[in-house]
Amino acid sequence: MGNDRDDVDPENPRPEGHYPRFKGNTWHYVPDDLAQTISLGPAGDGEPGQDWVLSYTPERENTEDREKVFVRLTPRALQELYIETKDLSVDARMHGHRAECDLCGDMVDLEKAIPNKREEPVHRRCYKDAYGGPVWLE
């Protein structure tokens, strides 16, 4: 699928030669199995005027060294985050959640895809057309 996630070094998540604009910044890596550690919500008990917090737990080689990271978002920062993401295309929002079907070339949601004989994601209907299968596979 052309996915380089297996090549990510959790201790050095910025790929060598990539993202030069942010070269001097601290980078963190959140692998798929830690994606559920990402949260966004009110910093307190939801009383008016409270800022929001974006939090996540970055991957570390030593799992005991995994310290939760909190980013405070003022109302202005939260608005900027919204502005940056509200007009993303479906493809941009789903990047990492969709892939090209290995058989037809159209995009397929990964949670609905099944692997073909080459272990690439395909639509159920494409799998059935190519290899046969039961009616429920569609």
Ordered by start, the domain boundaries in the chain are: 5-87, 92-137
pTM above 0.75, yes or no: no
> Digits of tens for pLDDT over the chain (138 positions)?
334 445 667 677 777 777 777 778 888 777 777 778 888 888 877 677 778 888 888 777 777 777 888 888 888 888 888 777 777 666 666 565 778 899 999 988 877 888 888 888 899 999 999 988 877 776
* Contacts of 73 by beta carbon, 8 Å cutoff, 6+ apart: 40, 51, 52, 53, 54, 81
